Amino acid sequence: MEARLRPTTRGPAAPHTVILTGAGLSAESGLGTFRDAQGLWSRYNLDDVATPEGFARDPALVHAFYNARRAQCLTAQPNPAHLALARLESAWGDRLLIVTQNVDDLHERAGSLRVLHMHGRLNEAFCNQCGDHWPAPVEMAASDRCPTCRAQATRPAVVWFGETPLHLDQIASAISGCQHFVAIGTSGQVYPAAAFVQEAAAAGATTLELNLDRSDITPYFDDVRRGPASTLVPSWVDEVLGGSPAHGDSP
Ligand code: OAD
Pair (194, 240) in one structural domain? yes
Q: Whose CA is nearest to atom 18 of ligand 1?
A: 228
Got the DSSP string for 137-161? PSS--TT---TTT--S-EEEEEPPT
Active site residues per annotation: 119
Pair (170, 111) in one structural domain? yes
Pair (133, 217) in one structural domain? no
The answer to whether the CB of 26 is under 6 A from ligand 1 is no
Pair (177, 195) in one structural domain? yes
Pair (135, 204) in one structural domain? no
Got the DSSP string for 192-209? TGGGHHHHHHHTT-EEEE
* pLDDT of amino acid 1: 34
Got the DSSP string for 34-64? SSSTT-HHHHS-HHHHSSHHHHHH-HHHHHH
Pair (184, 243) in one structural domain? yes
Residues 6+ apart with CB under 8 A from 220: 197, 198, 201, 207
* pLDDT of amino acid 39: 87
CATH code, 71: 3.30.1600.10
The alpha carbon of 143 and the centre of ligand 1 are apart by a number of angstroms equal to: 32
Pair (140, 244) in one structural domain? no
* pLDDT of amino acid 3: 46
* pLDDT of amino acid 13: 52
Pair (131, 211) in one structural domain? no
Integer Cα distance of 28 and 74 in angstroms: 15
The answer to whether the CB of 67 is under 6 A from ligand 1 is no
* Residue 2 φ/ψ region, left for φ over 0, alpha for ψ in the -120 to 50 degree band, beta for the rest: beta
Pair (100, 183) in one structural domain? yes
The answer to whether the CB of 159 is under 6 A from ligand 1 is yes
Residues of the chain with pLDDT under 50: 1-3, 7-12, 244-251
The alpha carbon of 34 and the centre of ligand 1 are apart by a number of angstroms equal to: 6
The answer to whether the CB of 27 is under 6 A from ligand 1 is yes
* pLDDT of amino acid 111: 98
pTM, 2 dp? 0.92
CATH code, 19: 3.40.50.1220
Domain extent, residue 186, equals 1-31+78-119+165-251
Give how many domains the chain has, as a whole number. Answer: 2
Cis upstream peptide for 192 (omega within 30°): yes
Q: Whose CA is nearest to atom 35 of ligand 1?
A: 34
Q: Are 26 and 103 in contact (CB under 8 A)?
A: no
The alpha carbon of 198 and the centre of ligand 1 are apart by a number of angstroms equal to: 18
Rg (CA), the chain: 18
The alpha carbon of 189 and the centre of ligand 1 are apart by a number of angstroms equal to: 9
Pair (140, 217) in one structural domain? no
Pair (71, 195) in one structural domain? no
Pair (215, 97) in one structural domain? yes
